[in-house]
A and B are shown apart, each in its own frame.
Chain A
Amino acid sequence: MPLAQAWSVALVGLEGHLVEVEADIAQGLPKTTLIGLPDASLSEARDRVRAAVVNSGQKFPDRKVTIGLSPATLPKTGSHYDVAIACALLAAGGGVDNGRLRQTAMIGELGLDGRIREVRGALAMTLAASRSGFERIVVPELNAGEARLVPGIDVYGVRSLRQVLALLRGEEIPDEAPPRAEPRLMSESLTRVPEVDLDDVLGQREGRRAIEASAAGGHHIYLHGPPGSGKTMLAERLAGLMPDLSTDDSLEVSAVHSLAGLLTSDAELVVRPPFIAPHHTASLASLVGGGSGMPRPGAISCAHRGILFIDEAPEMHPLTLDTLRQPLESGFIELHRAAAVAKFPARFLLVLAANPCPCGLTGSSNGVCTCTPQMLTRYRQRISGPIKDRIDIQRQIEPAARGEADGERPESTAVVAARVKAARDRQAHRYRDTVWNINSEIPGPILRREFPLDAGSQKVLESLYSDGRLTARGFDRVARLAWTLADLAGVGQPTAELTHQAFQLRSGAPLTALSDARSVRGNSAA
């Protein structure tokens, strides 16, 4: 049969498109052409496939071979079409039954010796194949772990082209040497949530309250304070307070991580919210994603449903930091390139940390700040208004005072996480008829109309507004935070005290109402 088809998957962002790989063998001098908008790494497939076919003991057709990838107008990139190309080619030459081949989706890069190497994005590709009705998919063995996370499709992890051919011919699968995992571009530890517990943090009542509220309502947070006061320590512990990801979120986060090359071969679904901490020198493309040709996800997408922690935020280039504005609002990022438009999810919790001034000594008891007023102004302006405006919680972190550190043993992560979980459950219940899940996601008009504050809370906000201490936008922000505090306290409606505390959390003022909040919680339990 001089014509045969196989199937593979193209990824545009996280979205998979089925690609039909056709091979035609025609009369003519030996020549292989690859058509269907291949990029450089895909064009090289011709030579890889040729060597792999010959070195797998198969005959490469001694004729004019045309490989077509359709839809022909979709730009294709990457080396994962190799296996489908090789199989279509051999089926066209009559070596493989095409009927069976057509029912199997295939991804994998071929080595010159016929080994099958791992690829990126296998999870999203498998998902696309499954949704298009394929019941079987052939993937590199090192990607089989993540591919098996997709329900409803049989995953065959293979080590070599010989094994694929045996599979298609229904023969016994030959044994091959196990593949060697390739080194990761980004180390795995980047996504791992630091294993630290909140009970290591002595004192820091306000800081603890701030990160608890942040985790409970998904509020972005800005921690500032002198060096060594514990900003990073608190930020790392924030990750541990967040509840596990839901099944859908988990699949989505795993798919992004698969594409970014962050999943290991023995991958399980990512169930914990990821913690991504890019250095403040991070480039724009590394943060939001990008790259020429087909865009790749950046740090903000890797932090999807987790935490994006930027330490020394004012040191980051203001333009870079400002690119976070749109994803902070929409929860996704759209990257437009000549080849394609890719959309990646990017709903993350932003945690910024900063020194109070360039020398770091403002407000510190360890020395006197030597910064000039101009330096201070410039430093503070590096985080732009629009970014600051999207941050619900600001907190000055002071080094723990001696007496504070001597007190009772602080609450552990498990205790606080349980409270956060309960608060999240209350939110999920309250918003069950909407598309939103947590307080920070609720749009202002919906919040005002469907979930209004009571008269007491309203009065607190209005008096702050008339004093000029609260803007119109700040109104909604404080209301959302007040709901979060109420959810944490286990009360049905934010009280005036909680609303006032919400305002303090947002404005960065000291928390006077802390003891009141405790008493509110005590009352509701009684």
Chain B
Amino acid sequence: MRTKDAVGQYGEQLAAEHLAKAGFAILERNWRCELGEIDIVARDGQALVVCEVKTRRGLNYGSPLESITYRKLATLRRLLGRWLQEHEVRPAEVRIDIVAVLFPHGGVPTVDHVRGVA
């Protein structure tokens, strides 16, 4: 396994723990279809949340949150639709959250959770 994938997986693990602690019920992780992949699907009260996790090892190339482009958000929206279709659920509210994990070399990782970006 390449280092960047290992870092990503570790970040997703931290993100899932963070969400669970915040009271989210994790429904599914790494759900795939031909459109792409959803990192975490969770339920937050009435809302179904599709959660993208972005992990970085430093700020040299900008913060993890900054790397989320409009194109990425558009993909997430399409994935959300597909997930709802395939699971035949009709939640009262749907949401896309981003969890940014900053995992500096030799430092303590920090988790930043932004709700409702789209």
Which of A's residues lie within 8 Å of B, judged by CB? 27-30, 62-63
Contacts and interface: CB of A to CB of B under 8 A. Distances in A.
B27 interface: no
A62 B116 contact: no
Interface residues of B, number: 12
B65 interface: yes
B117 A28 contact: yes
8 A-B pairs with the lowest CB-CB distances in the bound complex, closest first: A30-B66, A30-B65, A29-B117, A62-B63, A62-B65, A29-B68, A27-B115, A28-B117
Interface in B88-118: 98, 100, 112, 114-117
Contacts of B98: 29
A27 B116 CA distance: 8
7 contacts: A28-B116, A29-B98, A29-B117, A30-B66, A62-B63, A62-B66, A62-B112
The residue in B63, B66, B68, B114 that gathers the most chain A C-beta atoms within 10 A of its C-beta is: B114
Contacts of A28: 114, 116-117
A51 B65 CA distance: 18
A30 B114 CA distance: 10
Nearest to A60: B63
A293 to B, nearest CB: 31
A347 B25 CA distance: 76
Nearest to B113: A27
Given A29-B114, A62-B63, A62-B100, 12 more contacts: A27-B115, A27-B117, A28-B114, A28-B117, A29-B65, A29-B73, A29-B98, A30-B63, A30-B65, A62-B66, A62-B112, A63-B114
Q: Is the interface of A mostly helix, strand, loop or mixed?
A: loop
Contacts of A29: 65-66, 68, 73, 98, 114, 117
A29 B65 CA distance: 6
Contacts of A62: 63, 65-66, 100, 112
A44 to B, nearest CB: 19
A27 B63 CA distance: 15
Contacts of B117: 27-29
Contacts of B66: 29-30, 62
Contacts of B73: 29
A120 to B, nearest CB: 35
A420 B84 CA distance: 92
A382 B98 CA distance: 73
A380 to B, nearest CB: 69
A452 to B, nearest CB: 80
A62 B64 CA distance: 9
A73 B59 CA distance: 38
Interface in B54-68: 63, 65-66, 68
Contacts of A63: 114
A28 B115 CA distance: 7
A29 B98 CA distance: 8
A63 B68 CA distance: 12
A281 B73 CA distance: 59
Nearest to B112: A62
A29 B74 CA distance: 14
Nearest to B69: A29
A62 B63 CA distance: 8
Nearest to B100: A62
Contacts of B114: 27-29, 63
A62 B115 CA distance: 13
Nearest to A28: B117
B76 to A, nearest CB: 12
A27 B95 CA distance: 13
Contacts of B68: 29
The residue in A28, A29, A62, A63 that gathers the most chain B C-beta atoms within 10 A of its C-beta is: A29
B85 to A, nearest CB: 26
Nearest to A31: B66
A27 B99 CA distance: 12
B60 to A, nearest CB: 13
A28 B95 CA distance: 12
B51 to A, nearest CB: 14
